[in-house]
């Protein structure tokens, strides 16, 4: 009797080929689905105080050796609403950050002629230190990227955009439009380490010509 019941009831799904599936059927790769499940579990595990502690650690790193001529910078540039291919699997979220802007006096020949220590020239932006936090980046082997584009509203400014991957949205900042120093000896840094993408740079100094 049991054998007859076993023949009638089968709990194993019937194998079907991809060609027989209806148009528009989504096929999920097992490895990708496993990554999605692991990520969802990690999000639940790290929610609350754990996430706050992680942000605090990253901010401490970003604040390290912050000088008197630096201040916090958060001049975000609005972006057109993006649609991400992975948004149906991972909830897009905005990355946290702690950025610094470096200001100072530019003692070029013009300023030396027209100003002195008692009557100093106005301070100008001399560089930036961007620290974008990506602690939960799904694929940490792929470093985030950045792109610099002109600001359509003013040629004096540019838009610096950062792009990572799931589950993070793109984020952009409005910066002064000047040529960068890209020498490590002059403070340039572009690295992704411990969940923090750092882009540090100073501007090339102006040369005054009569």
Candidates 53, 205, 65, 55; CA nearest to 129 is 65
What are 44-102's pLDDT values in tens digits? Answer: 555 544 456 777 888 888 888 788 889 999 999 999 888 888 888 888 999 999 999 99
CB 169 within 8 A of CB 92: yes
Q: List the alpha helices (DSSP H) in the chain.
A: 2-8, 30-46, 49-63, 109-114
pLDDT at 117: 73
What are 137-152's pLDDT values in tens digits? Answer: 999 999 999 999 999 9
φ/ψ region of 14 (left if φ > 0, alpha if ψ in -120 to 50, else beta) reads beta
CB 109 within 8 A of CB 208: yes
Name the pTM for this structure. Answer: 0.71
């Amino acid at each position: 009797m049991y054998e007859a019941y076993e023949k009638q009831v089968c709990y194993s799904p019937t194998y079907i080929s991809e060609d027989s599936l209806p148009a528009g059927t989504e096929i999920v790769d097992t490895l990708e689905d496993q990554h999605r499940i692991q990520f969802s579990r990690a999000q639940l595990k790290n929610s609350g105080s754990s996430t706050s502690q992680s942000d605090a650690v990253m901010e401490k790193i970003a604040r390290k050796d912050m000088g008197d001529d630096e201040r916090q910078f958060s001049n975000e540039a609005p972006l057109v609403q993006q649609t991400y291919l992975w948004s149906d699997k991972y909830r897009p979220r905005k990355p946290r950050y702690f950025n610094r802007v470096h200001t100072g006096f530019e003692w070029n020949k013009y300023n030396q002629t027209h100003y002195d220590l008692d009557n100093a020239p106005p301070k100008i932006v001399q560089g930036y230190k961007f620290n974008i936090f990506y602690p939960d980046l799904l694929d940490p082997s792929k470093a985030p990227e950045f792109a610099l584009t002109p600001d359509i509203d003013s040629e004096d400014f540019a838009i610096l955009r950062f792009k990572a991957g799931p589950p993070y949205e793109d984020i952009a900042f409005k910066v002064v439009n000047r040529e960068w120093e890209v020498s490590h000896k002059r403070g340039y840094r572009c690295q992704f380490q411990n969940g923090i993408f750092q882009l540090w740079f100073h501007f090339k100094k102006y040369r005054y010509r009569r």
